[in-house]
Amino acid sequence: MLRLSSPILLDTNALIWAMDGDQRLGPASRDIADQALRDNLLFVSAISFWEVALLTTQGRLILAYSNSQWRQNALGLGIEEISLTGEIGILAAELEGLPGDQADRIITATAMLRGQTLLTSDQRILAWQGNLARHDARD
């Protein structure tokens, strides 16, 4: 169980669900994210905005706003964006046994380096044996 005031990093899917009020973000996860937001401890990797933009340009996601406006709306809520750093990039490349795309590796490395709990529904990340605090976003 997460302690109150835990720093939370939203995976891209959790960010989209939170922004859209999607019920796939489970009630416990919504409570966790809401508490983190109230405590100014809710974060997102900059790479998530890149993933959202890719999804929209590929027609796999439709937003009510432009990608830039959608990002501004997320940040305007108080979600803090974490920039990609060399340290994050190096750890992402060195993660052993983590399957998935490079963005998943960057997001995972970000959470690990910053001591944040990753809120995700990605089964590959949830099943990974690495030293990562994580919570299933569907709960």
| Distance from C-alpha of 121 to C-alpha of 139, rounded to nearest angstrom | 9
The whole-number pLDDT of residue 2 equals 56
Partners of 45 in beta bridges: 82
Q: What is the mean pLDDT of residues 17-41?
A: 96
Q: What is the pLDDT of residues 56-96, one digit of tens each?
A: 999 999 999 999 999 999 999 999 999 999 999 999 999 99
**Could you tell me which residues come within 8 angstroms of residue 105 by beta carbon, excluding any fewer than 6 positions away?**
92, 93, 95, 98
On average, the pLDDT of the chain sits at: 95
Please, are residues 24 and 138 in contact by the beta-carbon 8 Å criterion?
A: yes
CATH 1.20.1250.20 is the classification of domain 8-136: no
Domain boundaries, the chain: 8-136
* pLDDT at site 47: 98
